[in-house]
Amino acid sequence: MLKPLGDRVIVKSLEVEETTKGGIVLPGSAKEKSGIAEVVAVGPGGNIDGKEVTMNIKVGDKVVCAKYSGTEIKYDGVEYSILKQSDILAIVE
């Protein structure tokens, strides 16, 4: 299992199906990433570069991430992104 350090968060992109006006269903893999991801692991926070960082994100949260943020990796056949908590723009409720 991947365990993020410091203020890092590991997310897995969610594929969202979309239906066109003509009724054709496009699977998530046939279009651009939605920018919505699910948090799968959260670092401990703490003192990062001289500033105290409290982690406001928890595992299972659905979040909106900055478009070109983080580092994409493939682990056990699944694609993840590792990014800083500050690269998360919103929590989807």
Q: Does residue 3 fall inside a structural domain?
A: no
pLDDT interval class at 14 (50, 70, 90): confident
Residue 68, in any domain of the structure: yes
On whether residue 78 sits in a domain, the answer given is yes
At 8, the pLDDT band (50, 70, 90 cuts) reads very high
- Supply the range of the domain harboring residue 14: 8-92
pTM of the model: 0.79
**Is residue 35 in some structural domain?**
yes
Average pLDDT over residues 60-85: 94
**What total number of domains does the chain contain?**
1
Is residue 57 in some structural domain?
yes
Which amino acid, residue 76? D
Does position 87 have pLDDT exceeding 70, yes or no?
yes
Residue at 2 is within a domain = no
> In a 3-state reduction of DSSP, which class is residue 77?
coil
CA triplet 27, 81, 51: central angle to 5 degrees? 145
CATH number of the structural domain spanning residue 44: 2.30.33.40
